[in-house]
Amino acid sequence: MSATTATAPAATLGTLLKKIEARTARVGIIGLGYVGLPLAVAFARAGFRVTGFEVDAERAELVNRGCSYIGDVTEAELKEQLQGQRLEATTDWSRLGAMDTISICVPTPLRKTKEPDLSYIIKAVEKVQATLRTGQLVVLESTTYPGTTEEVVLPMLAESGLKAGEDFFLSFSPERVDPGNASYQTVNIPKVVGGITAACGQATEALYSTGLKKILLVSNAQTAEMAKLLENTFRNVNIGLVNEMALLCRELGVNVWEVIDAAASKPFGFMKFQPGPGLGGHCIPIDPVYLSWKARAHGFEPRLIEVAQQVNSRMPEHVVSRVAEALNQNGKPLRNARIHVLGVAYKKDVNDMRESPALDVMHHLLKKGAQVCYSDPHVAALHEPGLEFRAEPLSRLKEADCAVLITDHSDFDYAQIVRDARLIVDTRNALRAHSGPHIFGL
């Protein structure tokens, strides 16, 4: 090995590290959604000049006007970074070549066949590939199956003739965003980082440690990918357990919420999870499917994971059954009944509709001939396949035959709901302080 070849990687890495330390590195973020926009603001706050790349021109324009569409980013902090000329958004992908670091924060949904859909990642990597140059750091943040960074992203970037770990740097660092969580946001959630090589991990750790409080560098990208899937599969399986417990307790005539509270009094060996109408959000319903798909590709049957998926996916149907039972006890069939859904976001106090169980509940109600409307202080209108609705005021609750509480938003007037609703199916135990024969549990 010649002296030039031996020193080139160290020189390339050293140059990038110096740029990061001096805050002269240009930071690029692909995708300005729930993950990308908070990350862009965090890096801008740390003193970098940040450029967000968007396929959605309207979204890019909103960012450049200082209009936040993400609940975890206030317009005040967005405008602060814009005014300091540390943040901008663009649809000009040719500018990727000027970036020293590029974080890819794009969606990773499922296909109708329940297989991973990497099309957004592939399109983003193609954009990076077109302008890839020596000294750049590329970090994939989008949740995906173990091996994606090395098996999909790396070969695409290597087509440039540049070598990962020497000419450019490639890592995986899973997003851990929890929309609406005031205590834990992008800056103070520990950040897991895994590089294709040690140099890749070192460069990524250096970058993220500038704007985030705690970095955990693991041995490789696949470990980081697997850690992300374990986190959300853990939650999926435990939610499946308490959902099944809720079904069993109802058969036995036992209050599942009291059972959970009693079990949670144990100071060790128990972690409290809550049953509900189903799973929502981008991560918990989807990540275990990515993991199961990868496991089966290796001839491994992930039985526990798949059983939990089955239990959770059936909860919306169970909710509809409870609505039908409540109506039947009051001498009314579900067909043509007026059902008022309370809360359609996937979790409380956010406007995020991704994979919301409320959508499945509404679809099932409509299929059974019910008339459906909804109220949600965070979602003004629904534009989903088969579900075109505008939110109704809570005053319309008096007209409904039954209300079904799906999302327990803090700004719902629960006293009014109890007073005005003829019947209520409460899937979140939000009405635990109230009692009455017209209130039905999960």
Q: Which of 261, 250, 264, 310 minimizes the C-alpha distance to 285?
A: 310
Q: Which residue is catalytic, options 249, 283, 373, 402?
A: 283
Q: Annotated catalytic, 283?
A: yes
Six token digits for residue 391: 């939110």
Per DSSP, the three-state class of 193 is: strand
Q: What string of DSSP letters covers 350-415?
A: ----TT-HHHHHHHHHHHTT-EEEEE-TT-SEEEETTEEEEPPPGGGGGG-SEEEE-S--TTS-HH
DSSP 422-441: SSEEESS-TTTT---TTEE-
Name the phi and psi angles at 239, rounded to 5.
-70, -40
Q: Is 104 exposed, middle or buried, given 0-12, 13-18 or 19+ CB atoms closer than 10 A?
A: buried
* Distance, CA of 370 to CA of 334 (rounded, Å): 6
Residue pair 353/271 in contact by the 8 Å Cβ criterion:
no
Q: CA nearest 108: which of 118, 123, 100?
A: 118
- Cα angle 110, 114, 117 (rounded to 5 degrees) comes to 35
Phi, then psi, of 294 in degrees rounded to 5: -65, -40
**Percentages helix, strand, coil for the chain, rounded to the nearest 5?**
45, 15, 40
Query: Could you give the residue numbers annotated as active site?
Result: 283
